[in-house]
Structure 1
Amino acid sequence: MDTTKQLLRIEDVAVKLNVSQKSVRRYIHAGKIKSNKIGGVHRVEESELQYFLNLSVYENGEIKELEFSHPKSTKTDIVNWIDISDIWDGTTPSELTSADLFCGAGGMAKGFEMAGFNQVCGLDWFKEAGMTYRENFSHPLIEGDITQKEIKEKFINTVKEKLNGKKLTVLSGGFPCQGFSMSGNRIVEDKRNSLYKDMLEIIEELQPEFIVAENVKGLRSMLKGKVEDKIKADIRKLGYVVNVTVLNSADYYVPQKRERVIFIANRIGKQNYHPAPLLESDSYITTKEAIEDLIRLEDNPKFNHVRTNHTDDMKERLAKVPEGKSLYDKYSDSWKKCPWNEASCTIKENHGGVNIHPIEPRVITVREMARLQSFPDSFIFKGTKSKQMVQIGNAVPPLLAKAIGLSIKQTLKKK
C-alpha cells in the first residue's frame, strides 16, 4: 500500500462528516465508503471520503441520512496519521539516536529501543528508578535534579560525547505541568515549572531533529487549553513545527486503556506524523490475555512477582468490588478492579493502592503491573516493592513509545 496517502481512521471520518462512528461503520459495511483494512483496522483514504461526499450530493438526498450533531469540542487537532503496521514486527536496528529526559524506569527508552533507535542517555532524579534503568540498559543515566546547572550540563555533555558528531534524532520527555496559572489574561509559571523550562533549554542546546513530549490527557483542559497553546508556542519559538493529539495505548497492543497527550515536533522541514492505531476496540489485548498465566506462577521476587498478603477481611472486601469500580469512593483512580475480558483500566499507584486483580482477592503484583504496561518479562525492576509499583505506574508503556518511534522512522523515509 502507498503509505504516502492520507489515511483516516473511522473516528477521523466521523469528525469530518460530523456523524457518529456507528454511522461511518454502517456506510463502510454498505459499501458506500470504500476502506482498506490494515492490521484489522479500517482506514479510509481522503479521496474515497471526498468521492462519498460527491456521490451523496449527486444522488440528491443521500447526505440527509447523515446524523448531524454539534462537535464535542471546539479544539481541533491537525493530525497526520501514518501506517506503521508493515514495520511493526521484525524491527531492525538503525543509525537513529534518542535521549530521554524525566526517563523514570525507562518505558520510553525501551520503546524507542524496540523501534530500532540507539538510546544514548537518560536523566531522572528518582533513585530507585535509576537502579532499574541501569539494570536494564547499557547506555548512561544522569541521576540528579535537572534544575541544577551541573546536572543539566552533565546530561548535555554526555549526549554530545555519545553522539560523537552525529545528530540527535529524538529528544523525549514527560515533563511535569503543575506550575501554570493565570494572572489576568497572561499565563504565569511558578517554581514548579522550572522543570519544563529546563527541558526547553536542553532542546535549544542539543537541537534534536525531533521532540516527543508526553503528558496526561488532563493537560489539554488546563486553563481552558491555554497551557497546551503556550507549550506549542514555546516549542515553535525554538524553530520547530509541532502537532499534538491524544493516543490510546490500547491501540498499539498495550493491554491497557491509557490515554496520553503526545506532542511531536521537528525542525528539519518534515510533516509530523502520529502512528495510526493498529487495533480497534473490539480486538484490544485483554487483561486475561496479558496476565492469566501468572495466576499459576508461585511468588518469585527475582521476577517481581510477589503477591500482597491481605487480611481475610480485606480479601472479602476486594472480592466484592465490581470490575471497573474502586474499593474506596474517595480514591476513584486507585484500588480499581481491572476488567478481565477487556483491556485493563489505567494502571496507577496512588495513595499506596494499586489495581485489584479481577480473579483473585488481592491487588496485582509488580510483574502483573509490568505486563499491563507492556514491559517485557526480561525487564526487571529494582528497589522496594512499593517503589517498583510507583515506577511502573509513572512509566510510558514501551509499546506506545515503540509506535511513536516507528512513526518517526516512517516520517524520515518520506521525501
Structure 2
Amino acid sequence: MDNNKPLLRISDIAEKLNVSLKTVRRHIHSGKLQSTKIGGVHRISEADYLQFLNTFKSETIEKQGAEKQPKHLKSKKTDTINWTDISDLWDTPKATQLTSADLFSGTGGMALGFQLAGFTPLCGLDWFKEAGESYRKNLKHPHIEGDITSNAIKKEFIYTVKQQLNGKPLTVLSGGFPCQGFSMSGSRIVEDERNSLYKDMLDIISELNPEYIVAENVKGLRSMLKGKVENKIIKDIEALGYNVNVTVLNAADYYVPQKRERIIFIANKINKTNYHPAPLLEPATYITTKEAIKDLIKVKDNPSINHVRTKHREDMKTRLAAVPEGKSLYDNYSDSWKKCSWNEASCTIKENHGGVNIHPIEPRVITVREMARLQSFPDWFIFEGSKSKQMVQIGNAVPPLLAKAIGLAIRKSYDEK
C-alpha cells in the first residue's frame, strides 16, 4: 500500500466512476474492489482503485440505479443501462436552449415529444406526403418533404438545420430508420439497396455532428441475424465518435395508454452519461384504454377532429363483437384486427394493410382519434389525408409521451456536471 497517497472513501470512488454508493459497495463485497476497514469504514488505496479500473474498465459506464431495473423490462439480453428519474421534470418542464431535429419524422410524434420536453425542434424530414402535411399543420418549425437518398434533399435538410443553429451545435438528431435491408454473406453483414436509408442517416449524422443521437426501432431488431444487426448499428455509431447505450422501453411506462415496446439507442459525443428514463408507472397503474377513449363513445362522427366510425356490415359487426380482448379476428394476422383490452393499457396500435385495432366495447374498429389518443397525441393534433392515410401515420408514429420521456432523460444527461 502506498502510504504517501491518501486513502479513498466509497463516496470518492462513486464520484470518480459516476456510479451510486450502492454499486461501489457491491464491488467491494464481491471482492472485485479491494478495501481496508479502518474504524469500521471502508478505505481504498489509489493502487487498488487503479487495478479495479483497469480490470473492470467497462464499469466506468455502469448505470446509476441499474439495480432498480423494472422486472417487466428485463430480458435475456444484458444491457448497460443508466436509468434516471425524470419525475421531477415531467409535469412542467421549462423551455431550454436545447435543440432537436428528426429524420424519418413521420407525422411528428418524436418532434412533438421533444418539444414537450422543452427542446426547440428545428426541422423534420420524411417522404410520406400526407404525414408531412400533418406535421406542418400541427408543428411550426420547418419540414422537408422528400427522399433522404436524394443529395438535394439531404443538403436542404442539413442547410435548414444549420441556418437555424447559427453556429451553435445541434443537441439531438433522432430517427426511426428502416432496418429490412440487412442480411448475411458468410460471416459478414451486408446491406441491400433498402438500407441506403440507414447509410444516409449516418451521412447526415457525420455532417451535422449532433451532440446526441436517438434512434428508435421495433423490438424485433434485437433478434435480427441473432443480434448482429444491433451490434453493427452500435459499432457504426461508435465509429462516428459516440458512446452508445441501448435498451427496450415500454411506452406504457410513461403515461401512454398502450403497451408498445421499442428499442431505443441513445448516444453522445460530449463525454456525458447516456440516460434512459426510469419508468414513471408500474404495470398495475398503467393508463387504460377505458380511461383514454371512453368519452369518445358519446361523441358523434366529426371529420374535423378525425373521429369517424367505420361502417361495417352486420355480419362483420357480429364477428367483431365475438373477438375476445387481446385476440385477433384472423388467426393468421395476429398483429392486425386485434381487440384492445378495456381495463388495461391497449395492445400495440398499428395499421396493417387496413387491419386496425378493434374497439373493446363497440362492434367496430377504432377511429383515427381513438388511435391518436392511444398513441398519446393531444386532441388538437389533427391528421391530414384520407382516413386510411391518417391511420398509417398514427400507427407508424413514435408516441409523443415516450419521446418526451427520452427528451427529459437527455436533459438530465446534458445538465449533469
Give the letter for the 1:203 counterpart.
I
The CA distance in 1 between the partners of 2:189 and 2:75, in whole Å, is 26
Aligned position for 1:221? 223
Q: SS where residue 380 of structure 1 aligns?
A: coil
* Cα pair distance change 1:79/1:7, threshold 3 Å: farther
SS at match of 1:317: helix
**How far 1:116 moved relative to its partner?**
0.6
Residue 350 of structure 1: which of 330, 349, 352 is its match? 352
| Structure 1 contact 82–273 (Cα < 8 Å) conserved | yes
SS at match of 1:379: coil
Regions of 4+ moved over 3 Å: 4-8, 44-49
Instruction: Spell out, residue by residue over 1:145-188, the C-alpha distance to the aligned partner (whole angstroms, 9 max, x if none).
Output: 00010000000001001111121000000000000000110000
Alpha carbons of structure 1 residues 271 and 45: separation in structure 2 relative to 1, 3 Å: closer
Residue of structure 2 in register with 1:31 after alignment: none
In structure 1, what is the equivalent of residue 114 of structure 2? 112
CA distance in 2, matches of 1:337, 1:222: 28
Aligned-pair distance for 1:72? 6.0
- Residue 211 (structure 1) aligns with: 213
Amino acid at match of 2:127: W
Name the residue aligned to 1:192. 194
3-state DSSP of counterpart to 1:269? coil
Paired AA for residue 400 in structure 1: L
- In structure 2, relative to structure 1, the CA distance for the partners of 1:46 and 1:383 (3 Å cut) is closer
User: Which residue identity is paired with 1:251?
Assistant: D
Conserved? CA contact 1:7–1:82, under 8 Å: no
Instruction: Answer with 1 or 2: which has the greater Rg.
Output: 2
| Residue 304 (structure 1) aligned with residue 303 (structure 2) | no
TM-score, normalised by the number of residues in structure 1: 0.84
Q: What's the offset of the Cα at 1:194? A: 0.3
CA distance in 1 between partners of 2:143 and 2:66 (Å): 48
Please say if 1:391 is aligned against 2:393: yes
Helix, strand or coil: the match of 1:381?
coil
Amino acid at match of 2:321: A
SS in 1 for 2:230: helix
Is 1:132 the counterpart of 2:134? The answer is: yes
1:202 maps to what in 2?
A: 204
Selected match of 2:145 from 133, 143, 151: 143
SS of alignment partner, residue 386 of structure 1: helix
Q: CA deviation at 1:316?
A: 0.5
TM-score, scaled relative to structure 2: 0.83
Counterpart selection for 1:291 from 282, 290, 293: 293
Cα deviations by residue, 1:72-124 (Å, 9 ceiling, x for unpaired): 62x31000000000110011111000000000000000000000100000000
Structure 1 residue aligned with 2:282: 280
Q: For 1:261, what is the secondary structure of its paired residue?
A: strand
- Alpha-carbon separation, structure 2, partners of 1:139 and 1:46: 37
Return the alpha-carbon distance in structure 1 between the equivalents of residues 294 and 192 of structure 2. Answer: 46
What is the rounded CA distance, in whole Å, between the counterparts of 1:405 and 1:386 in structure 2?
30
Looking at structure 1, the residues matched to 199 and 250 of structure 2 have their Cα atoms a distance apart, in angstroms, of 27
Q: Secondary structure at the match of 2:287?
A: coil
Is the 8 Å Cα contact of residues 7 and 45 (structure 1) preserved in structure 2? no
**Native 8 Å contact 2:65 2:83 kept in 1:** no
What is aligned with 2:257?
255
Summarize the Cα distance change of 1:314–1:7 in structure 2 as closer, same or farther, 3 Å threshold. Answer: farther
Residue 366 of structure 2: aligned partner: 364
Separation in structure 1 between the aligned mates of residue 176 and residue 66 of structure 2, nearest angstrom: 36
**Once superposed, what is the RMSD of the aligned Cα atoms?**
2.1
Aligned to 2:31: none
Deviations 1:28-57 (A, max 9, x none): xxxxxxxxxxxxxxxx986999xxxxxxxx
| One-letter amino acid of the structure 2 residue matched with residue 139 of structure 1 | H
Q: 2: distance between equivalents of 1:98 and 1:375?
A: 19
SS in 2 for 1:98: strand
Equivalent position of 2:57 in the other structure: none
1:35 corresponds to which residue? Answer: none
Q: Which residue, out of 334, 339, 342, partners 1:332? A: 334
Contact 1:6–1:80 (CA under 8 A) maintained in structure 2: no
Which amino acid in the other structure matches residue 242 of structure 1? V
Matched letter for residue 80 of structure 2 = I
SS at match of 1:383: coil
- Aligned equivalents of 2:276, 2:102: Cα separation in 1: 19
Q: Size of the alignment, in residue pairs?
A: 358
Change in 2 beyond 3 A, CA 1:177/1:414: same
Q: What is residue 409 of structure 2 aligned with on the other side?
A: 407
In 2, the alpha carbon distance for the partners of 1:154 and 1:217 equals 32
Which residue identity lines up with residue 167 of structure 1 in the other structure? P
Three-state SS of the structure 2 residue aligned to 1:404 is helix
| Aligned residue type for 2:236 | D
Q: Is the 8 A contact 2:64 2:84 kept in 1?
A: no
- List alignment gaps of at least 5 residues for structure 2: 1-17, 27-62, 69-73
Once residues 91 and 414 of structure 1 are traced to their aligned partners in structure 2, the CA distance between those partners, rounded to angstroms, is: 16
Percent sequence identity over aligned pairs: 75
Aligned to 2:270: 268
Q: Distance in 2 between matches of 1:46 and 1:199?
A: 32
Cα deviation digits, residues 200-220 of structure 1 (max 9, x gap): 000000000000000000000
